[in-house]
Each structure stands twice: as C-alpha cells, then as structure tokens.
Structure 1
C-alpha cells in the first residue's frame, strides 16, 4: 500500500518526484509533524562552484526550509581530503587545505541564493566537517568507531562493489570515506540535533551506515532520504553539456549560458524539470509539460526563466531571454552573449579563427575547432566558416562579430576598449 504522508515536505517530495527511497517514511513523517527536523546534505569541496548536478538536492533543501524545517549544508573540508569513491572509476585527486577553503567560499555564494541562513529555528546552517575530523585521534577513532563497521557489509554496497567488479583499485584511504561520512551524521546529531540526511541514491549505503552508527553509539533516532540519480530522456547524465559541467557560479558560467542550457531541454524532460527545478504549482508543470508542437518551446522558455531567476535573479533571466530572442529570432548579435575581447596587441599580427573558437568557449581544443570548420558547423555572423587558416585582424573586428558552433551555441568577439 502506498504511504500518504501528512507532513508538507514529504508530500512535496512525492508530488514533485524528488523521492527515490526513505529508511522509515512513517517515522520521518511523524517527526516532521512533531516539530522542526534539522536535515543535512554533504558537499565535498572539489571545485570552486557547484554545478547543475547539485541543483536537485539544493532544491530539496529549499523546499525543506519552506516547509518549516532546518537545512544544514555540510561542507566537506575534512572528507574532501580523502575523496568519495561512490560510482567513480578512479581515485579523486587530493587537494590542499588552501584550495579546499577557496572552493568552499565559492560554493557558499550559490547556497545563499537558495537558502536563508541565520540563527532562527528554521534558518539554514553551514557547517564544516573539518571541525571534528581534523582533530581525530586515529587509535581512539578505531577503538570507538571502527569496531561498529563490518567490512563484509561495506563490500556489499553498490558503490564499492561496482569498482571491485571492474577490478579497479580501491585504496584504503577511500574505503575510510564511508566511515567518516557515517561519523559526520553522528556528530551532526550530537551537536545540532540533526535527524535526517538526504542525498542522491548512490549515497544510500553511506546514509544507512550513518544511521546505524548514530543509533549504536549515542542511541539517536535518525533517518535517511534519497533522490533519484537523474538522467535526461536521451540517457545523458544530468548537468553535462557539450562543454562539460554547467556551473552555478556566474563567473564560471554566464547567466545567458545557464539560461540557454534549460531552454535547450528536450520536449520529454520539460514537465519533469519544471516540477524538480522550479516552484511553479505541480498542476501548471504538468500542463506546460504536456503541450505539443511549437507550444512546448514556450514551456521551455518558462523553465529557463524560472530556474535562472532562482539562481541569478529576475533581471538576469529577462536579459537572457531578450538576448536569445535577438539572436535566434531576429538574427541580431545580442548584448548578453558570452563575450571574448581581444586586445589591439593580439590583433596586430592577426589571430587564427581556430584559436578564437577555443578561447570563446565554442570548442574545447584546436583539433575540435578545425573539425567544426571542416564539417561546416562553425559560422561567423551566420556565414559558414570554411578556412581553418583564417586570421582575424583589427580591421575584421571594426564591428563585433558573432561566432556560432552548431545551432545553439554562440559567442560575441570584439576589440577590447
């Protein structure tokens, strides 16, 4: 029999398709009806920005707070030094403490757009697990914590098993990660009364470990909830574009590029993404997602506007839409396009079109740029480029030019100053 939760948060999770699994739905529902449930999601600081792949669980935290509960964004200042092996084919590169701290600062900018931080009961908290992990005494940790973990059971978790089945190395360093993550949950429960950990379904084993440890050591009643690992309707991992990760920090991915990613959503994903990534009513999301033909494009514009507004603000979303209208419907240049400015010194001897395509972010390498040109996929002011040896001088850029790669990626190139 399907469980029908009484708490607003769990109803939202089910209605909007955020829920993959829960360790104890009835128990969590009762706890949420009884009072504020502090809830955490952990983020390792492996880059200076979060990316679209993180946006699903950030939205879960946002809905949690809007439902009257307390989000905790746990920054992995400690665990980033080890690396999460979950569903990875190789070991993560190890980062220095300075780089980790810089990455955390960059990620904080994104959380502040979605969550309200402060000292009130439902205000979000940002916590760094380096607070308790950096000072651990190894022998005491082994004696007090390590004895609660069964290696046989840990080997059965899919994240570890998939690696071993491929006969790929899993270092002892990484194997410890799941013990540290379990310890995080226990410490958050002990220090802040945290009752729920959320994460992607690949984190199920780590979450269950934390629940077991918390119950065994400090007799805390805690819960776990996972979201599905999203792929697009064509099977691609959510959050990847042709140019790699779509970052959430504006200095790493412009609001226009971010907007355009959502505008390019496939028809089949539009309704689902409206429910997951916007706050429009579920009925409206279903209506917009069911539109056919040219009408579905209007739904994609609404999706792009709503998601971009949450991250970058309404003005940025409107500017991105106006630029897209100028570029795609009127054939103009568009003020908000990603822009490459070239100095007079660079242009004095001319600069190759291949180099410009790479620097404008339209190709990852010179080889890819040459292939684009050879396949007639690169255009300058809508005229296909055919000569990979073309050199642009200051005279060629007397007016800004628009470069395109395929139908959907564009950049503006102009002289500096």
Structure 2
C-alpha cells in the first residue's frame, strides 16, 4: 500500500489535534512527525523529506483569519514545491481554504473531520504523485482550448479560420465571460505572426494618466516617477499582435490618441520627440453592444472603422446548447487533475441542473461553479447539490438586455412552463399550445 511508504508532518498548535492524527496515521504510514510551533517548519522540512504535510489554518486562537496558514503554506511551497500540503480548516474558513488551494495547497480537511476522509485524501495524493513520477498521468486538454460543437460556435470557428491568417484588424464582441480573450489568442496563434509577441492590455482599466505611458512608453525624466526609459505596449508588440481588451470603455480623448497612432503607424514615447514606426496586428474586444458603439457621443466612428475590419461575435453560453456538457466535462477533468482528485462520474441530475441554469456569467461562471464543485465534493460522483450558482451573477444579469435569439426564447419558455407544472409534460404542452410529441422533440433538441 502507498501509505506504508509515506512520511507525514502534522503542524497544529492544538495538542489534541496532534495526538488524534498521530494515533490515526501511525499504524498506516512509515512515519508521523508532529509539530506544535509553526516557526519550526523550516527546520523540519530541511531535516527530513515529507510526502505530505498537514497544516492548520489558524495558530492564534484570538485572531482566526487564516493568514498564518497561508503564510506558512507559501513558505513550504517556496522550499519544497513538490510537497503536498493539506490544510485543516473550520466550516467558516471554506472560502479561505479555496483561496489557499489556488495558491498551491493540495486539499483541505474540515473540522470535525472523518478519519476515512483523511486516509482517502492522503492516499489519493500519494497515488497521484506516484503516477506522475512514473509518467502515467494523462495529459489534460489545454486550458486555452476553445471547446464546442454547437452551430453558434461553429460560426465563430469558420470566421476564425478565414481571418486568422490575414493581418486584418478584428473586433471581438460578446458578453462578459464568453471567452473573447481565447479568440484573440487563437487569432494570433493561427496567424503569420504566431512566433512574434502577443501583448494584451486591459485599456478599460487604464486611467487617463496611465493610458499614454502604458501604450506608448516614456523616456527617463518624462515625469516625476520616470526613473528609466520604458517601452510601451505598442512597441513591445512590434512584429506581433496587440490585443486591446475592453476597448469600449476608453474616453473620447483616449480614442483620438489611439486613432492617430493607428493611422500613422507611429508612436512617440512621452518625453521624446522621436516617432517610432510600429508593425502590429490589432485585435480589440468589448462587451458593449454594437448599438452603443455606434453612438458618436460615446465612440468615434472613424476609430470603429479602423479597428473593425472584421467582427467576431462570441455567443453567450445559453445559446450554445450541447456545448455546456462538453465544457463541463472539460473543466471537471482539468480541476480534478489540478486538485489531485480521482476521476468523477456525473450524476444525471447534475447535468440536468447545469442545463437548466441560464449562466448569466457565461463560460467563466461555468468554470468557477465547476471548480468549486470539484473542490467541495468528497466522493467520486458529482451530484446536483454540489452545484452552487452565484447570486452575484444573477443580480448583475437583471440589468442585462434580454436575448432576442429565438432558440433561447423558446428554451426559456419551455423551462419556465415545465418548472411551473413541476415537470408534467402533458400540462406543459397544453399551456404552450403544442402537442406532447412536439414538446418531446424540443426537449430532445435542447437536451432538457
């Protein structure tokens, strides 16, 4: 058994916790070392190689912020990046534990824990490490992959295939979370500039004072904090692709400066009189609707024409049908691997609940929902109760413009009526004014 070969370090300032874990693990593993004082962690990991470290999140009984646990987790990962660290936390610390997982922890135990859960967690981590060492781990799909087979996403793929090899400027439109940045990257990776720089700038986040210095660069002494020359993003992307995200949020004054550079293909760093020629392929993205961009009081038409040789519209997830299932399986696989979980089976109710959600946060919301589900699931099967949807996204969506896509309207109407009639197909068909057979065909079409 893998456990028999393991050396475990337990760090907690609660003697009862140390004693309980030592008594539990001692008969099962090669060695258990217990440590009450976290200040001795460095000495412990320097003296001995540990396969798994079990670390408490809080060492100060008066201040339960969990920051000490995060601090010591970072110290351990700096010195021993390949060591698996399991956190011990309370129910109130779940969000903090999830943050710690993203910073490098392998898993967490919730107080009060179940002994079987501890043993299963350690065993899974050790098996994953052994499998990785022997080269048997299965390669996962790229996190930048654009996944889908729906008609809506096929239209995007078709445009991408035609436009990518050209130098045409592209404007990517779509709601937040639809994957506009993935399309920008795909355009670059499939272009003749793929071996040159790809530089992304969130221009919507730049203040007026930072806009020019970030995009065009500056010379030493150009302003108070200019201690040395700095190359701007345009110059850094020379020969490659410049991706300006959230382009719809820049001011009219910033639009004028940007238009001048794009027309002349020259940038002049702040504090310099010398213009520098640039050769870039420009890609822009925004979540602002085209009708708003068409308003000259908010966005210059001459700039729109300059950046919009071709537009690519990313469809919202609710319009992508079967892609929800494909994406779900992809993200579950990715996060199961990331958090050293065994492969999951998906309960039919789990998939059904996913399909019924309208995902106002789109693919990004799906991704975060599934990451949390994988983290919180104790077994090897994901069930409906493992899905927790964000109330923040729903609140945000109240101000969104209602989709006019006919398939979406029909799907939402069917879902509303089915929910009202508690799943009774006969009543729902009658209320919708269609036959039972017609309703079944639509249920099959939308995978409901």
TM bucket (normalised to shorter chain) is under 0.3
Between structure 1 and structure 2, the one with the greater Rg is 2
- Tell me the TM-score normalised to structure 2 length: 0.22
